[in-house]
Amino acid sequence: MATHMSRCRTWSRLERFGIAAYRKYSSGGGYPNVHLSTPLPGIPKPVFASVDGQEKYETKITTLENGLKVASQNKFGQFCTVGVLINSGSRHEAKYPSGISHFLEKLAFSSTAQYGSKDEILLTLEKHGGICDCQTSRDTTMYAVSAEVKGLETVVSLLSDAVLQPRLLDEEVEMTRMAVRFELEDLNMRPDPEPLLTEMIHAAAYRGNTVGLPRFCPADNVDKIDKKVLHGYLCNYYCPERMVLAGVGVEHEQLLECARKYLLDAKPVWGASRPDNVDLSVAQYTGGIVKMEKDMSDVSLGPTPIPELTHIMIGLESCSFLEEDFIPFAVLNMMMGGGGSFSAGGPGKGMFTRLYLNVLNRHHWMYNATSYHHSYEDSGLLCIHASADPRQVREMVEIITREFIQMGGSAGEMELERAKTQLKSMLMMNLESRPVIFEDVGRQVLATGKRKLPHELCDLISSVTASDIKRVTTKMLRSKPAVAALGDLTELPTYEHIQAALSSKDGRLPRIYRLFR
């Protein structure tokens, strides 16, 4: 019976496709073995995405009647990232207790006028496969949601509610106090000292002003911040002219329609009075030193304990991200590179950068040497972080100061080309990610009112020359150093000696002669 059925099926296929087509059958399929470039019989014609020049990639920007900017970037896919970026951060807290931005980050997406709790918000987003997040930095606060494009209206409505209508209930503020205290404890206990050192170097470089104000809430201020203080701050900084609604993966007209509906006439819960206490201070670079004596011997115990280390970060003033010199500084930072002495990977991981070749490869006792570049709308900071045994701190500081001085020498052609190529590669790879594109669009539009596209930035990077690097380095070396030191600081040179080394021709520390060691 089975044999008879099989013969019937074979005969029906022969009748349908003919002997020639039947011979080309694949071993297990029900379709003839048609070439991949030929459409299959009975299948609807596919519709492919097409790109017409650069137009599809342009960022569209519209300013609403109330001053709110709406920026969008279309991107193929069924998910989108939409958020509100606000020109508000720890640098604006000069007239308030420091730590308000830290509190607002923790309180974000809690109960609002429309939603009774954080759980309600999360359940609403889950219907559209969405997640939400809030991040604050020294100069920007960002509320963001990633969800299906079909739920765009719900997302914008929710963002409007979270930003302008938070309830800030007493129990939520109390829970936030506990979360902030825990984070401050964790900051001092974690094996990675980089967040703490970054905080310290900013405090040293911009003593008591703008970006030098603490990003994390000081322990003394945790109990001072309440609903009244938060409302006073929000009234001045959470206003439409200081905001951008940015979206990636959405149609501009659709986002604009939602913005008009939910953000144009939205009344904030703290009242619609005009901001009258906005801090417009410009960052004043002061230089200086911040030290924290600390026992680092038991920071990371366990099967593979980290040895006791002293961490030093030395920085010099660079430039604002609005200046033309920002790109040469970014290339210089890439050229310095660096990382941990036990980092895995090949040349792509920075094995040819100056801090690898001149520092980690030559001095086996150096645990880490990494370059960082922090840039803001009115100033910037290029710094090198290094870690070593407490007994070799003086030698480590001299190695860093020598590297700073050698930045002023001429950069090799191959070295410069490699740094430029690495920077372009890193830029393009990061911009593959939708949330990164969202942040890039939002931050650029918030700071400048427009957006430089990736190909424009790549052209600017390509045009950097060795003379540009030398020029920006010479300018940078004229500034006073900012120094952050953490750990056992017995062997740390004085600030004056570090300053003298950075003013010398070879970067060496002044010799000190001791009668007894």
CB 259 within 8 A of CB 455: no
**In which residue are the tokens 């604050």 written?**
136
CA 421 to chain centre: 21
Tell me which residue of 234, 210, 232, 214 sits closest to 222, measured CA to CA: 214
Q: In this predicted model, what pLDDT tens digit does every residue of 235-288 receive, in sequence order?
A: 999 999 999 999 999 999 999 999 999 999 999 999 877 788 888 899 999 999
Beta-ladder partners of 311: 387, 486
pLDDT category at 25 given cuts 50, 70, 90 is: very low
Instruction: Report d(CA 180, CA 70) in Å as an integer.
Output: 32
Q: How many residues does the chain have?
A: 517
pLDDT category at 346 given cuts 50, 70, 90 is: very low
Asked whether residue 5 carries a pLDDT value surpassing 70, the answer given is no
Q: In this predicted model, what pLDDT tens digit does every residue of 415-464 receive, in sequence order?
A: 999 999 999 999 999 999 999 999 999 999 999 999 999 999 999 999 99
Per-residue confidence (pLDDT) for residue 24, from 0 to 100: 47
Q: In this predicted model, what pLDDT tens digit does every residue of 459-481 receive, in sequence order?
A: 999 999 999 999 999 999 999 99
Secondary structure of residue 485 in the 3-state scheme? strand
The stretch 294-320 carries a mean pLDDT of 86
CB 334 within 8 A of CB 417: no
**In which residue are the tokens 């659709």 written?**
254
pLDDT category at 26 given cuts 50, 70, 90 is: very low
Least-confidence region, from 38-52, 102-116, 213-227, 283-297: 38-52
| 126's tokens | 């889950």
Instruction: Report d(CA 275, CA 355) in Å as an integer.
Output: 47
Per-residue confidence (pLDDT) for residue 341, from 0 to 100: 64
Beta-ladder partners of 385: 313, 370
The stretch 194-221 carries a mean pLDDT of 96
Whole-model pTM? Answer: 0.87
Beta-ladder partners of 216: none
The stretch 470-499 carries a mean pLDDT of 96
Residue 368, H or E segment: strand 368-375
Provide the mean pLDDT of the chain: 89
Per-residue confidence (pLDDT) for residue 220, from 0 to 100: 96
Asked whether residue 29 carries a pLDDT value surpassing 80, the answer given is no
The stretch 206-225 carries a mean pLDDT of 96
Asked whether residue 42 carries a pLDDT value surpassing 50, the answer given is yes
Secondary structure of residue 492 in the 3-state scheme? coil
Per-residue confidence (pLDDT) for residue 6, from 0 to 100: 55
Asked whether residue 172 carries a pLDDT value surpassing 80, the answer given is yes
More confident residue, 51 or 144: 144
Instruction: Report d(CA 212, CA 204) in Å as an integer.
Output: 7
- Across 263-289, b (16+ Cβ under 10 Å) vs e yields beebebebeeeeeeeeeeeebebbbbb
Residue 122, H or E segment: helix 118-126
The rounded percent of the chain whose pLDDT value lies above 90 is 76
Q: In this predicted model, what pLDDT tens digit does every residue of 8-18 receive, in sequence order?
A: 555 555 455 55
pLDDT category at 307 given cuts 50, 70, 90 is: confident
Asked whether residue 347 carries a pLDDT value surpassing 50, the answer given is no
* CATH homologous superfamily of 60-264: Metalloenzyme, LuxS/M16 peptidase-like (3.30.830.10)
* Strand arrangement of the beta sheet that strand 380-388 belongs to: 288-293, 482-487, 310-317, 380-388, 368-375, 338-340
Residues of the chain with CATH 3.30.830.10: 60-264, 288-503
CB proximity list for 229: less than 8 A, separation 6 or greater: 96, 97, 100
Per-residue confidence (pLDDT) for residue 459, from 0 to 100: 96
Per-residue confidence (pLDDT) for residue 199, from 0 to 100: 97
Per-residue confidence (pLDDT) for residue 514, from 0 to 100: 64
- Whole-angstrom CA distances from 89 to 93, 209, 217, 225, 341 are 7, 13, 12, 15, 34
Per-residue confidence (pLDDT) for residue 234, from 0 to 100: 95
Instruction: Report d(CA 250, CA 59) in Å as an integer.
Output: 11
Tell me which residue of 85, 106, 89 sits closest to 98, measured CA to CA: 89
Asked whether residue 402 carries a pLDDT value surpassing 60, the answer given is yes
Instruction: Report d(CA 334, CA 281) in Å as an integer.
Output: 30
Asked whether residue 164 carries a pLDDT value surpassing 70, the answer given is yes
| 149's tokens | 């494009």
* CATH homologous superfamily of 288-503: Metalloenzyme, LuxS/M16 peptidase-like (3.30.830.10)
Helix spans in 301-359 (H):
326-336, 354
Neighbours of 418 (CB within 10 A): 17
Per-residue confidence (pLDDT) for residue 515, from 0 to 100: 57
Per-residue confidence (pLDDT) for residue 19, from 0 to 100: 47
The stretch 49-75 carries a mean pLDDT of 81
Per-residue confidence (pLDDT) for residue 37, from 0 to 100: 81
